[in-house]
Structure 1
């Protein structure tokens, strides 16, 4: 499932959901890289 996360205040990344952390943050994979950030709420 594709998910979008925020890294910092203005950088968003969209990738494949890897897991949800206990603090509510998401881990997504883009190619070989893994990113952790806050989920973007739906419009």
Structure 2
């Protein structure tokens, strides 16, 4: 599943989910790198 995570206030990464951590963070894979961050909640357009 493709998900977007936030690595900081201005940096986000989109990739394939490979796992979850105990504190609620997601691990996503982009090419040969794995990133860990908080999931971005989808916005609802009016």
Q: TM-score, length-normalised on structure 1?
A: 0.95
Work out the number of aligned pairs and report it: 43
Give the unaligned 5+ runs of structure 1: none
Distance 1:34 1:20 in 2: 12
Q: Which one has a bigger Cα radius of gyration?
A: 2
Higher strand share: 1
Unaligned runs of 5+ in 2: none
Q: TM-score, normalised by structure 2?
A: 0.89
> What do you get for the CA RMSD once the two structures are aligned?
0.5
